[in-house]
Structure 1
Amino acid sequence: MTMNLFEKIFNYQIMSRLEESGAFAVTSHERSWLRAMLDHPAAADAFTPETMAKLAAVLQAEADIDIAEHVMEKASSVERQVYHPLLRPLRRIIAERQGSRISYRLKHGGMQHEQSGFPYKLEYSMVKREWYLLWYHPRRHMFMSTRLRNIADVQQEEISPARAEELLSKIAAIIDSRKEHAVIEVIRIYNRELSRIMYAFSCFEKEVEYFDDTDTYRIRLTFMGDECEYILSKIRFLGKRVRIIEGEKLQRRMRESAAKTLARYGIGEEHDQLNGEEQRVIFDSSS
């Protein structure tokens, strides 16, 4: 059933009010999932005993999720540690906007001892299944990304609020310089799948614009330069539901991937008699 305009406005107003008040809406399925996750071995390390007890009390009335009855896992890869002991101290340093002294192992061997830095953000890579620390190295004037498993030790280092603001401004400038933009248009006949398409780009900063005269949606994505290939994988997954209308780099990579696909089946430029419409279809659905 298609959501009408009034429902969209009402839902948008609710979400805006919740965001302004700092509230977070949680479904019953999410609460049941959280209760199940508290039984994970890593939960005892991730939460303090007080927090664990509070969550258990709040979620006591929630239904259990019996995953074992419906899901069977076979030939899974070795799971790295979901929780890392440095997560809690690093989160505290980041929340308090303090500096740190970091000792970490280098990629090709060796060790960097007690490097002064400013921790900015913790990120979890769903592809590599491990945690990363994003931090600024004042002496080298570099924005660093270090795997937590390569960090041997972290000690808090006091800095003034003025210095923290200065470093945050530098980090913001570096991040802005690395950002790229692209506009993805939803092919009109697939408008009913907008929620699925939006979910594919859920981890990126985005704005959605609707054009009433053509009944089309356009999604403006903002992303880091090194995330291009991941975005391309999402676009290929969506196939002919979407097309790139802005973003020369993404368009070029899609053309390259389409050409490689054709070459795989022995179709070269000298044999390519496709008309403009057929080329557009291949561009939209290439993999």
Structure 2
Amino acid sequence: MPELPEVETVRRVLEPALVGARILHAEIVDPRLTRPFDPGIVAAELVGERVTAVGRRGKYLLVVLGPGRVLLVHLRMTGSFRVAPRASLPADAHRRALLRLDNGLDVAYRDLRRFGTWELLEPVDVEPHLADRLGPEPFARVVTGRWLSDRVARRRAPLKAVLLDQRVVAGLGNIYVDEALWRARLHPARPAASLDAADGARLVRAMRAALRVGIDRQGATLRDYAAPDGREGTMQDEFHAYGRSGEPCSRCRAPLERTVVAGRGTTFCPRCQPAP
């Protein structure tokens, strides 16, 4: 599933293509994309709107329209965009939607697994909708070591499971949690409530460092992910933990191990990240 760096990469590519453009035609061919709302009605609502901004909140893309309405896009496992000059995109059995813009570009949305969602929100609904689902951004000033340790103080679940909860900190998924925990030298199965302010500060620095590398490398290209301009990210070449079970730790050279935490495959260093 695309995480914060992958979604931020998508946002950065979409922004110059969309901002300032008016939607001349919208086609949504998959009713699951806008469920429970009729895709034809949602498409009709988009026609004529001018895009004023393209934002990101956690793993969500926010396409801001003229009157302040927002098309909220969640890519989930295999959602992706493609941008190309009008009528130049090849036929695609996995295309779920198409936006035709007055600047001569087409923006296609494809989704192999069909788990992605589009929601058209009125201005007054945007912030409450996001606040119900997301904690602060990892780079937000409020996210400090003390704040994080207080935030998880009553959580007995494993630390990795708590970090995957988008209501704690938004944007982290399986990849960047593994990478952050490796950088912070914290075991993924450690009880979250055991985190003190010093541990929290180390973890906040580690999260931010892993995410910055991911953004700089335009995300990790695993399976279906690619940016809207077709470029593939290279974060997979920078992994210290995720997916490297059995390989030597790049810090201490001990073999990395794989376990399952919160139902997710998890890679860690048994020497650098001692068990609780």
Give the TM-score normalised by structure 1: 0.24
Structure number with the bigger relative contact order (C-alpha 8 A, sep ≥ 6) is: 2
Q: Which has the larger radius of gyration?
A: 1
Higher helix share: 1
Could you state the TM-score of these two structures normalised by the residue count of structure 2?
0.25
